[in-house]
Chains A and B, each alone.
Chain A
Amino acid sequence: MQQVFKRPESLKDVQTHFCPGCHHGTIHRLVADAMDFFGVQQKTIGVASVGCSVFLYGYFDIDVVEAPHGRAPAVATGVKRARPDNFVFTYQGDGDLAAIGTAEIIHAANRGEDMTVIFVNNTTYGMTGGQMAPTTLVGQKTSTSPYGRDRSKDGSPIRMAEVMAQLGGVAYTARVAVDSPRHVLEAKKVMREAFRYQVEGKGFSFVEVLSACPTNWGMNPLAANARVAEEMIPYFPLGVFKKEEGA
């Protein structure tokens, strides 16, 4: 009998702490799959950010550096410059990357650092209890926008994958979702493509992943999954926004 589906080598054989219906587990798996695909697990250095994803060293069987909130792209810059032959990625949430860490992500991307950034957008601060994030949709109620996000006071949700496309140093930027088997398969291809850019030394690559946070959205996993398709994708369209082989 042949085993056709198994846990990626780059993931540890442990249970995660993530809530039921959270998409971090699926996204971790896709990242691990891409590491396995290119055989880079043994030379990968991951940079963990602050938020629910900080524990990634507990799940990925790789060397990891923990960064202060929002600073992962700067930490990863130091890592990559010191060890240019290693594979380096950051894994950051929306509060981390699109609010407190905007300076770090914009400039690491603009310098064209040879690294890959995984950006998990679930429209809320998960770890701290569901506060308003820079990606919170207009009208969305959170613990710090109890009347719903008000465009006139809170601004509009930031589309980071598109912002990245404007920067000269970015070679590849895309947005994917993992709410359906079809989207997961597409996300797997995109993740591998983003990794390929770094493996081949082609510059900065960025993957935004739309993710569900049932606990802080106050929804059951199925309803949260449906919200990704019905509310998030219409505002955060899926696709590849830039693809430059020679960046």
Chain B
Amino acid sequence: MGAIEAGCRYYFGYPITPQSDIPEYLSRELPKLSGEFIQAESEIGAINMVLGASACGARAMTSSSSPGISLKQEGISYMAGAELPGVIVNISRSGPGLGGIDASQSDYFQAVKGGGHGGYHIPVLAPNSVQEMYDLTMHAFDLADLYRTPVMVLGDSVVGQMKEALVPNPRPSRELPDKGWAVRGKGGAEQRVVKSLFLGDGELEAHNWRLHAKYQVMKEKECISQEYRSEDAELLVVGFGSVSRIAHTAVSMAREEGLKVGLFRPVTLFPFPEKAIAEAAGRAKRVLVIELNTGQMVEDVRLSVGGGATVSFYGRPPGAASLPSPEELFEVIKKQY
């Protein structure tokens, strides 16, 4: 819904659990809007169709889940290199390999460190509710066009499949640059070429520095995070996506017991809200990172807080019934407090 609201009329995808609700919905809705839905031959085919439509200036997207996202990495790297916008929704599952379909955060590294070759980054947004799946998908299309980059919306089966109230509130799009670079047939104008091959002397190095500068601007301007009762907290719990919902309840339980505990939730995983987390952690002096994996985002938290706080970690790698309950996290909080 967020994608349609954002003006996306081109969806290319391939079935995989637990994200098949997205292609099923769009295969029904896009034709009504004169849009195009293609069930591609593979994840690779799908991301390359996104590449083609995007090269024409259209708002285009695909969605998948972890093993499928691995297949898309080639195309994402090419899009990052050719500076093409596009939105990739990853309703991630557990791995490695075929793994399972449980809620998992084991693809944090793949998402934020540039899962494909070539040393690029893409913005990664981590919603924790149905409302945010909608809001952040719209935001993703704006970021994609503004920075000419693929953008990933990273969820899991909890946010991808739960039912809860949604207020459709399409917001006005940000002021976006003209897509003068898009191919459309010369039409008497200068030739336009969308490419990521730079063989000229020094061309590729300059291109990489330019991409790097773009990532610095994102770090400066596009970080989003949320805090809950962190002002006077002596222990700061950090979690993203679905686990931040459970942690929120656990923090409330701790507060009821009189423990000064707060929550910090990165919404953008790239750019990582380094400054905001360093400030909040510096006040609390102690940080507890909770993830549905054996420890990934905790590395970025440690880098961000430096010596300003001690950082501990609690993780539940995915598996049947491995989603922690609020009570379980409350016990962990009490131990760390």
Q: Which residues of A contact B (CB under 8 A)?
A: 41-45, 47-48, 54, 57, 61-68, 71, 74-83, 86-87, 103-104, 106-107, 111
Cβ-defined contact, A79 with B188, below 8 A: no
Q: Across the interface, do B183 and A45 meet the contact criterion of CB distance under 8 Å?
A: yes
Are A54 and B51 closer than 8 Å at their CB atoms? no
Binds A, one of B34-42, B142-150, B242-250, B323-331: B34-42
Could you list 11 further interchain pairs (A-B, Cβ under 8 angstroms) beyond the known A45-B184, A64-B192, A81-B52?
A63-B184, A65-B193, A65-B195, A75-B55, A77-B45, A78-B10, A79-B56, A82-B52, A83-B56, A87-B185, A107-B40
* Residue of A42, A48, A78 ringed by the most chain B CB atoms within 10 A: A78
Evaluate contact between A57 and B60: CB separation under 8 angstroms.
no
Query: Can you sample 29 A-B contacts with CB below 8 Å?
Result: A42-B186, A43-B185, A43-B186, A44-B186, A57-B191, A62-B185, A62-B186, A63-B193, A64-B183, A64-B193, A65-B52, A65-B195, A66-B195, A67-B51, A68-B51, A74-B40, A74-B49, A75-B52, A75-B55, A77-B38, A78-B55, A78-B56, A79-B56, A81-B49, A81-B52, A82-B53, A104-B44, A104-B45, A107-B41
Closest Cβ neighbor of A86 among chain B residues: B185
Residues of B within 8 A of A71 (CB): 44-45, 48, 51, 75
B174-217 interface code vs A (CB 8 A; 1 in, 0 out): 00000000011111100111111100000000000000000000
- CB closest chain-A residue, reference B185: A43
* Nearest chain A residue, comparing its CB with the CB of B74: A68
CB-nearest residue of chain B to A81: B36
Residues on B with beta carbons closer than 8 Å to the beta carbon of A75: 48-49, 51-52, 55
CB pair A106–B41 under 8 Å, yes or no, is yes
Q: Which of B42-71 contact A (CB under 8 A)?
A: 42, 44-46, 48-58, 60
Contacts of B185 in A (CB 8 A): 42-45, 62-63, 83, 86-87
Give which listed residue, B10, B41, B183, B184, contacts A81 with CB less than 8 A.
Answer: B10
Most interface-central of A77, A103, A111 (chain B CB within 10 A):
A77
Residue of B nearest to A54 (CB): B197
Q: Determine how close the nearest CB of chain B comes to the CB of A108; give it in whole angstroms.
A: 8
> Do B186 and A47 touch (CB < 8 A)?
no
Centre residue among A54, A64, A76 by max chain B CB count within 10 A = A64
* Cβ contacts under 8 Å, B56 to chain A: 45, 78-79, 82-83
Closest to A104 in B: B45
In this assembly, does B78 line the interface, its C-beta being within 8 Å of a C-beta of chain A?
A: yes
Query: Is B82 close to A, CB under 8 A?
Result: yes
Across-interface contacts of A82 in B (CB, < 8 A): 10, 36, 52-53, 56-58, 60
The total of interchain contacts (Cβ-Cβ below 8 angstroms) comes to 137
Q: Which residue of B lies closest to A40 (CB)?
A: B185
Residues of B within 8 A of A (CB): 10, 12, 36, 38, 40-42, 44-46, 48-58, 60, 74-75, 78, 82, 183-188, 191-197
Distance in angstroms between the alpha carbons of A62 and B187 in the assembled complex? 9
Smallest beta-carbon distance A145→chain B, Å: 27
A77 and B52 within 8 A (CB):
yes
Give complex CA distance A63, B193 in Å.
Answer: 6
Contact A81 B53 (CB under 8 A): yes
Q: Does B196 contact A66, Cβ atoms closer than 8 Å?
A: yes
Contact check: which of A48, A62, A106 meets B191 at CB < 8 Å?
A: A62
Interface centre among B38, B48, B60, B197 (most CB of A within 10 A): B48
A103 touches B183 (CB 8 A): no
Q: How far is the CB of B335 from chain A (nearest CB, A)?
A: 49
Q: Which single residue of chain B is at the shortest CB-CB distance from A102?
A: B41
- Judge whether B194 and A65 touch: CB under 8 Å: yes
Minimum CB distance partner of B75 in chain A = A68
A61 to B186, CA, bound (A): 8
Q: How far is the CA of A60 from the CA of B10 in the complex (A)?
A: 28
Q: Which residues of B contact A62 (CB under 8 A)?
A: 185-186, 191
Q: Is the CB of A103 within 8 A of B78?
A: no
Considering the chains assembled together, what is the distance between the CA atoms of A82 and B30 in angstroms? 13
Tell whether, in the assembled complex, residue B45 and residue A74 are in contact, meaning their CB atoms are under 8 Å apart: yes
Q: How far is the CA of A75 from the CA of B82 in the complex (A)?
A: 13
Q: Find chain A residues with CB under 8 A from B36 CB.
A: 81-82
Please, how many angstroms separate the alpha-carbon atoms of A66 and B83 in the complex? Answer: 12
Structural contact, A68 and B52, CB atoms closer than 8 A: no
Contact of B195 among A64, A81, A103 (CB under 8 A): A64
User: A86 touching B44 by the CB < 8 A rule?
Assistant: no
Q: How distant is A219 from chain B, measured CB to nearest CB, in Å?
A: 27
For A80, what are the chain B residues with a Cβ–Cβ distance below 8 Å?
52
When the two chains form their complex, are residues B48 and A68 in contact, meaning their CB atoms are under 8 A apart? yes
Query: Which chain B residue has the least Cβ–Cβ distance from A68?
Result: B78
